[in-house]
Structures are given as structure tokens and as C-alpha cells.
Structure 1
Amino acid sequence: MLLAINANNTNVKFGVIDGDRIVGEWRQHTTAMRTADEHAVWLFQLMAIEKIDPKSITGAIIGSVVPQATFNLRRLCTRYFHTEPLVLGEPNVKYGIQIKGQGAGADRICNTVGAGVLFPRTPMIVVDFGTATTFDVVDEEGSYCGGVIAPGINLSIEALVNATALLPRIVVEKPKRVIGTDTVACMHSGVFWGYVGLIEGIVARIREEFGRPMKVISTGGLAPVFDGATQVIEQVVPDLTARGLVEIYRRSTRSN
């Protein structure tokens, strides 16, 4: 079985994959201070709950946008799972796609690969609701063509709360009405419908510039919150990044 680790700015997601099935999936808050030993104690207990034997792990892959956390995640794989992980960005990793442009993070590459596997030869926009809200453009060949990075919705809420004296911290949810009748309702409406407007506006501009029909899918922790809120997003794929990690592992080890 494969251990797939996706380290983002907010959470580190661990997945155990058996063939094409995700048999275990967990997440913890991202911090560079957590040691390999701490990772192992936490992860082994969760694997035991799902009756997954750590000795059944035969390979590992790490996609990380937090370089300070990568060392201990690699150490986790080598010391406790006795396997040298593939780490996205290193020379021995084969993506199997063209990356047009510079600065694409590991999560965006995984999303591109995962999207290409699920919807081959289909131009796409992948909207990822993470710490940042990203829009990744994928062409007919499955290549990463660039995209857009916007502040994530929780970052926007934190900025609003920290820059004001009286506005409270809120949880993201779809409001019943657009016109709020109290402060919290007004905030819910502004945050939620403001992001719907951002999604619809950016997707429309990307489509116009791309010049061809494009399928729009979404992923990330907050993707389900916006499911059904706009007709622009055609499908939510919660495990898109994990699918991409698994496919990159297969492409990188196929010839070995």
C-alpha cells in the first residue's frame, strides 16, 4: 500500500491507498516543529483504528508547499515505514505533464495531474479552496497552463476580524438571505456571496481568455460549502490532490 502525504499551509493530509482505493485518510495542523516521532505516534494510532498495519506500507510520496515541514515527514517515512519517499520537486519525480510557467506548487501540480486522469483530453479550471483559493488551468493535453491565486476565504475572515474592533470571527456557511439584518448575518452574506462572485468572475475571464469551452471542478476543504451555490462549478472532487499524488507515484516508479 502507498502512503501519500500532502503538506499544505494549513493542514498535512495523510492517505493510505490500496490500489485505487483510499482506505485511510487523516489530517493534522501543519507545523514545522512536529517531529517524525510525533507524526508516527499520532498516525499509528489512527491506522490501528482503521485496522491498517503499518508494515503493509511499501511506498510513500510527499507533496509539500511547506519546506520546513518536509524533513520530518521524510524522516517519518524512512524511520517508521522503512521506505524512501518520493518528494515532489526532486529530479527523480516524473509528472508526465508539461508545466507551462514557473512557481507551480506541489498541490497545484497534483490537482492538474488528478484532473487529467479523471477527465482526459478536457480543458479544465480546477478551483481549490485551501489556505489560498487557486484557479488552475489545464489544457487538452493535461498540461498545467498557469492560473490565479486569490486570498483564501478563512484568510479573508481573519483579516476582517483582526482589522476591526467589533466584528466577530464567523464560520463559513451559506446564508439564508443575501440582505443581512444583523452584523453576523451581514458578514456571512458578504463573505459567502462575495466569494461566489469572485469564483464566477474569475472563471468567466479565464474562459474568455482561453477561448474554448472548459469544464470547472473544485476541491479543497471548503469546496462542499460552495457546492450548489453557483452553476459555474460543475463537480466537486474532494480527493483530487490525493489522486494526483498517486498517479505521480505510479508514473515515477513505472520504469523502476
Structure 2
Amino acid sequence: MILAIDIGNTQIAAGLFNQQHLCAHWRLSSTLDRTEDETWIMMKSIAQANGYDITGTTGVAISSVVPDIRHTFEKMSVKYLHCDSITVDSTLDLGIDIRYDNPAAVGADRLCNAVGGFFKYGGPLIIVDFGTATTFDVVSVKGEYLGGIIAPGIEMSSMILHQKAAKLPRVYLSFPNKIIGKTTESSIQSGLMYGAVEMVEGFTKRIKEELGQATTNIATGGLARLVLNELRTEYILDSFLTLEGLRIIYNRVKNRESHGK
């Protein structure tokens, strides 16, 4: 089995794969001061609660935007699973051609989304990931990663409004009944949620115009399902796209190693 770990700024998503099947998945908070021993106990316990024993894991694939936490998982893999992990970056055989000015600057999670999206759906492709940041990634019909867009995430925007404006409260992230808010709370909800909808609609339209062709559109990330319900443009919900991309990359790398390439 393969353990796929996506380390984000606020949460860590983990998935256990048996060949191509995602058997179990869970989330942890992205805590910097957790040791590899504490991390192992949490990972093992949560897997057991899902009915799986990860002690027999044969490989670990890591995507990370937080280097310190990545190091913790790398040490955990060696100490408790007795296997080296594969950490995703632009130097690996990803199966896509990265057409970014500086390929090393592309976040590992974005690379995983691009790989997972292209190998599952083909191109041209727009992938929107609703995470700490809301990212848009574009893949061509030839499997070229063309770049994308990085915008503040919905939760980040909510937090900054509350922190920087003394009279604005934190609000529950949901769509109000009407776009014209009658209270401060509903006005903020409208700005955050309908603002996200219009951003996706607008960016999708502009990306298609720049490409000059129709696209398959994929959405992933924690708030994707909520936003998709209000979109007029068709998007496919793929909640585990990043983990799927990790699995695909891991298998590609190991296949090359086994053939001595």
C-alpha cells in the first residue's frame, strides 16, 4: 500500500492507496512542533480507526508547502515504515511538461493537481483548488503545465477582514439567502461566498479566451463542493485530486527506478 500525504499551510490530507483504490483518507492540522513519534502515533491511530494498519505500507509520497513538517514525515517514514519517501517537486518525472518561467517555484500541491487532473481527464484543463489560497492551474491538451492564478482563499479572506477591521466579525462560511445583505454578517458572507463564485466564473471565462478553446474544469479543496453549487459554469468535483496525483507520481517514479532509468 502507498501512503499519500499532502501537507498544506493549515491542514494535512492523508490517503492510503491499495493499487489505484483510495482505501481511507483523513486530515490533521498542520502543526509545526509535532515530532516524528507523535506524528506516527496519530497517523497509525487514525488509520486503525478507519480499519487499516499502515505498518505494512511499502511507499510514501509527500507533497508539501511547509518544509519543517515535510521533514517530520520523512523522518517518520524511515523510522517507523522503514522506507524512503518520495517528495514531489519539478525535477521528478511527472509525465507533464512544466511551461513555467521557474519550474522550481510551482507548489508541489499544484503539480499534483495538474498531474492527477491530466491523467484522469486529459486536457485542456482548468483546476481550481479551494485551499488556504484559491489556485487556478491550466494544463494543455498536450499535457503542458501552462501556469495559473493564485488568489487569497475564502477562509484567509474572512480571517483578514476580521483581523484588520475592528468591527467586522468572523462569520460562518455559507451562502446567505440573498446577495444583498441585511446584516453585517450576511453582507460579509455575500462578499466572501458570492465573491468566490464570481472569481471562478470570471477567471474561467478569461482563461478559455486566452487559450482559445473549451476546457474541462475540475474543482478540489475543502470548500469546493459549497462553491460549485452556485456556479453557472460546469465544474467536476474531485475532492481527492491532489492525493490521486501523488499516487500517480509515486508510481511513475518507482517504475522508472525499476527499469533503471
**1:22 matched to which residue of 2?**
22
Q: How does 1:220-235 map to 2 (within 5 A)?
A: 220-235=221-236
How far, CA to CA, are the matches of 1:73 and 1:105 in structure 2?
A: 18
Specify the alignment match of 2:81 in structure 1: 81
8 Å Cα contact 2:55-2:80 kept in structure 1: no
Could you report, residue by residue, the CA deviation over 1:175-217 in whole angstroms, capped at 9, with x for unpaired residues? 2111111111111111111111111111111111111111211
1:134 aligned onto 2:128:
no
- Aligned-residue sequence identity (percent) comes to 36
Residue of structure 1 equivalent to 2:40:
40
Q: Does 1:119 align with 2:121?
A: yes
In the alignment, the residues of structure 2 paired with residue 127 and residue 22 of structure 1 have an alpha-carbon distance, to the nearest angstrom, of: 21
Q: Unpaired runs of 5+ in structure 1?
A: none
Q: Where in structure 2 are the equivalents of 1:152-231 lying within 5 Å?
A: 152-231=153-232
1:56 aligns with 2:56: yes
**Native 8 Å contact 2:196 2:227 kept in 1:** no
The whole-number CA distance in structure 1 between the counterparts of 2:90 and 2:216 is 31
In 1, the alpha carbon distance for the partners of 2:191 and 2:88 equals 37
1:213-244, CA deviations, whole angstroms, 9 ceiling, x for partnerless residues?
A: 11211001110111221122421100100110
1:3 touches 1:59 (CA, 8 Å); kept in 2?
yes
TM-score (norm 1): 0.96
What residue identity is the alignment partner of 2:30? T
Q: Measure, in 2, the Cα distance between the counterparts of 1:137 and 1:248.
A: 18
Shift of 1:90: 7.7
Q: Conserved in 2, the CA contact under 8 Å of 1:218 and 1:233?
A: no
RMSD: 1.3
Map 1:1-12 → 2, pairs under 5 A: 1-12=1-12
In 1, the alpha carbon distance for the partners of 2:159 and 2:47 equals 34
Match of 1:95 in 2: 94
* Counterpart Cα distance in 2 of 1:81 and 1:10: 25
Q: Is the 8 A contact 2:64 2:108 kept in 1?
A: yes
Q: How many residues align?
A: 254
User: Matched residues in 2 for 1:174 and 1:115: separation?
Assistant: 28
Contact 2:5 2:12 in 1 (8 A): yes
Runs of 4+ residues deviating >4 angstroms = none
After superposing the two structures, state which structure 1 stretch, 218-227 or 25-34, moved more: 25-34
SS of the residue aligned with 1:83?
A: coil
Relative to structure 2, which stretch is displaced further, 12-21 or 48-57? 48-57
Distance 1:90-1:178 versus aligned 2 partners, 3 A rule = closer
What secondary structure, in the 3-state scheme, does the structure 2 residue paired with 1:254 have? helix
Give 1:107's match in structure 2, choosing from 96, 106, 109.
109
2-structure distance, mates of 1:149, 1:198: 11
Cα offset for 1:23? 1.2
Distance 1:86 1:220 in 2: 22
Q: What is the rounded CA distance, in whole Å, between the counterparts of 2:3 and 2:225 in structure 1?
A: 25
Structure 1 residues 37-65: Cα deviation after superposition (integer angstroms, max 9, x where no partner): 11111111111112212232011111111
- Residues 3, 15 of structure 2: 8 Å contact kept: yes
Q: 2:115·2:245 contact (CA, 8 Å) conserved in 1?
A: yes
Given that 1:112 and 1:143 are in contact with CA atoms closer than 8 Å, whether structure 2 keeps it comes out as no
